[in-house]
Chain A
Amino acid sequence: MSADRSPAIELRGASKTFRTPSGGLHTAVRGLDLTVGHGEFVAVVGPTGCGKSTTLSLVSGLEEPTEGEVLVAGEPVAGVGNKVGFVFQQDATFPWRTVLSNVMAGPRFRGVPKAEAKEKAREWLARVGLAAFEDRYPHQLSGGQRKRVALAATFVNDPEILLMDEPFSALDVQTRALMSDELLELWEGTGASVVFVTHDLEESIALADKVVVMTAGPATVKQVFDIDLPRPRKVESVRLEPRFIEIYREIWESLGEEVRITRERGAAHVA
């Protein structure tokens, strides 16, 4: 089978240009080459607003590349496929559905019978520790609990590819560390390939097998770093290890430059 040998995700010279409301053209991503292997956890870091999220929309099929190719399991992406799960930065739970119904939504959308969907949803709710909250509405939950619902709603579809767009950026620091650990636990059971977008370098090193540093927008890959920290990891303790700090310093040398460029541009904009 050729699908097995080809990487889980492959972007070849992908570019994405948007038309801005004022009629101009904005290039979010230019000539992006990126490969994600099966079961690999890749974190993408880059300065704020550089086009990291656009990369994810290309892989998910929500957006089409203007140029270049996007392949998932060796096949070109055409529309939203059923292999992909996506956890968004903002709350994307359906506020009019209960927690259980939110988690059931994915399987139901994909035509799974109701009883089966309910059973799977309950199973995942138990795994994220929200079994007792299935009748609540999202507004009755805390930010961290809502994120757990979003995780359960994504994992319940058994995605082969998990795309995460700064999923924990709206959470407080402690909840964030907790959620990162939970994410690693959930992920280790599934064997999914993950692309995790963040602007937090610490988070990316603690989670990933591979950290991809993006340039200031339009985004393209600047450098790729392998993270050789042993798994299983605990986010809070791994960041105290000397090897972690070494890697951090190494990557920051590369990332810091791009951050500086972005800042200078921002300052030029303001001036």
Chain B
Amino acid sequence: MSPEVISAPAPAGTSKPDRAHSRARAARRRRAVVLLARVLLLVAVLGLWEWLSRAEAIDPFNFSMPSKIWDQISTWITHGTALGSLGEQIWVTLHEALLGWVIGVMAGVIFGIALGRIGFLADVLGPYTKVLNSIPRIVLAPIFVIWFGLGPSSKVASAVVLVFFPVFFNAFQGAREVDRNLVANARVLGASNRRVTLQVVIPSATSWIFTSLHVSFGFALIGAIVGEYIGATKGIGLLVAQSQGTFNAAGVYAAMVILAVVALVAEGLLTFAERRIFRWKPSDSGH
């Protein structure tokens, strides 16, 4: 049976472009169906929520409803919040998160690479980093408010401590796992220790570091929001706290939606930067 199948002349000339064509069409259809299903799922969840809330099957006061959340967002956009314009609140939070993120990432990368390259430092500091990492660092946020006051610096500080550790551990791991061949090759080619660090260790650790950047921007936002929630004069976190204080559930949800959008945009920018930086990587192992 099988030899017959193999030797059976395939009607290659006519069927090949046909098959490619139909395959492309099937792929396109599949994409459309996936997209449609996504939209339907969203509409269904939101619709169910709205309907349950309106029918008072769930308490609209506690659970609010999508239309009210939307109203809240558009009120904030058109009339501003109790704290000033919405844009200003977003900007304050984003500013704190970004600053904390940049500082945390830089400190994490520098310490991670340094400990990864210098065995003595790693041996001395290793246990302490583990202890510090095991502390739930979010509890430091109130302390930072005490130390640095209600201004942005206390939020930046809590963002920094949240961002530092994941970046640090990844950079450390990346520096440790550099291909020994590459290091040996660089040394034979004449690279000094400093050059090996800058031109071999850091480039090969970048994929490790980037992995942590995605997670850590989320952490920076969390740090900023929690800091604001505990005590601030401006920001989305304060908006959440105030909405909660006035039993405005829609306000809390609205702030969450805004945060989600901000986080998604940041994530998109990061992915874009990553693609640019990792052009040297084969595309199949990159993503």
Query: CB within 8 Å of B: which residues of A?
Result: 60, 62, 80, 82, 84-86, 88, 90-92, 94-98, 105-106, 109-110, 137-140, 153-154, 157
Q: A86-B185, A88-B184 are in contact. Are A95 and B190 (CB under 8 A)?
A: no
Question: Which B residues touch A94, using CB under 8 A?
Answer: 182, 186, 199-200, 203
Give the distance to chain A from B253, nearest Cβ to Cβ, in Å.
Answer: 44
CB A33 to nearest CB in B, in angstroms, measures 24
Establish whether residues A110 and B190, one from each chain, have CB atoms under 8 Å apart when the complex forms: yes
B10-61 with Cβ < 8 A to chain A: none
Kindly count the residue-residue contacts between A and B in the assembled complex, taking CB atoms under 8 Å apart. Answer: 61
Which residues of B lie under 8 Å from residue A153 when comparing CB positions? 189
Contact, CB under 8 Å: A95 / B281: yes
Q: Is the CB of A88 within 8 A of B190?
A: no
B280 near A139 (CB under 8 angstroms)?
yes
Query: Is B282 located at the chain interface by the 8 A CB criterion?
Result: yes
Rank and list the top 7 A-B pairs by shortest CB-CB distance, nearest first: A92-B185, A109-B190, A106-B189, A110-B190, A86-B188, A139-B282, A109-B191
- When distances are taken between beta carbons in the complex, the residues of chain A under 8 Å from B189 are 105-106, 109-110, 153-154, 157
**CB-based contact A97/B280 at 8 Å:** yes
Alpha-carbon distance between A200 and B53 when the two chains are bound, in angstroms:
79
What would be 8 A-B contacts, judged by CB atoms less than 8 Å apart? A60-B188, A62-B187, A92-B181, A92-B182, A109-B186, A109-B195, A110-B189, A157-B190
Which residue of the partner chain A has the closest CB to B277?
A96
B279 at the A/B interface (Cβ < 8 Å)? yes
**B184 proximity list for chain A (CB < 8 A):** 62, 86, 88, 92
Tell me whether A62 and B188 are in contact (CB under 8 A): yes
A-B contacts besides A95-B280, A96-B206, A109-B189, 16 pairs, CB < 8 Å? A62-B184, A62-B188, A82-B190, A85-B188, A86-B188, A88-B181, A88-B185, A90-B181, A94-B182, A94-B186, A94-B199, A95-B281, A96-B280, A137-B280, A138-B280, A153-B189
